[in-house]
Structure formats: structure tokens, C-alpha cells
Amino acid sequence: MKISISGLRFEAILGILDFERLKPQPIEIECHITYRYESGEYLDYAEVAKTLEETMKEGKFYLIEEALDALFQKMAEKFPRIETIEIAVSKPDILPNCRVCVSDFRSNL
């Protein structure tokens, strides 16, 4: 089975610049997960979205790459049924003319 979460948007501290450390900025996450489905057991997408957001807000990361590592680790711990996961973290408002995004894919968490 596959779950996709697109456009998960919230504010969090993320970045190395002084102004990024002082005030939360808009963050957007896209996440694609494949998982083992067995009758009656499922992956709660609301809980997945909540975990992604909470991890970002609590982490106050300096680099998007650090945030991604923490997200993968938390998802593996909390959702052992995950087989593969792709996460993209965007800072949609950091530059005036584009969206900045870093993504990664992991399997066999």
C-alpha cells in the first residue's frame, strides 16, 4: 500500500541565518510511504502528518538535511510497518522567486 501526504504546511524554526533562528517560517512537507498492509492493520495518515509536523517543530533544525535525518529516524521508530519513504522539506518563502526543497528516499528502515 502507499500513502501520500502533500502540502503539509506549518511554521517552524529551520535555518542557519540569524533571522531564521528568531522566528518560525513556513515549511511544507511532502511524504510518500509504502507499507505492509495486513487485514485490519493500517497506517494512520493523520498520525503520520502529526509526527512529521511535531518532529520539525521540536527539532529547531539548522539544516534541512538534519531535519530529514531526524524525520526518517522518527518515522522508522514510530511506524515499523513502513517499507519505503520519500520525504521532501520545502521552505516556500525563503527566496522571493522560487521554492527551496531538499528531499531523500530511504528503504528498509
Q: What range defines the domain where residue 62 resides? A: 2-107
Q: Is-contact 98 32, C-beta < 8 A?
A: no
Q: Crossing angle of helices 64-78/45-59, nearest 10°?
A: 140
Q: What is the CATH number of the domain that holds 8?
A: 3.30.1130.10
Q: How many domains does the chain have?
A: 1
- Per the CB < 8 A criterion, the answer to whether 3 and 37 are in contact is no
Joined grid coordinates for residue 36:
505492509
60 dihedral zone (left: phi>0; alpha: psi -120 to 50; beta): left
Q: What is the pLDDT along the chain (109 residues), one digit of tens a residue?
A: 999 999 999 999 999 999 999 999 999 999 999 998 888 888 999 999 999 999 999 999 999 999 999 999 999 999 999 999 999 999 999 999 998 999 999 998 7
CA distances from 88 to 18, 30, 39, 64 (A): 24, 5, 30, 9
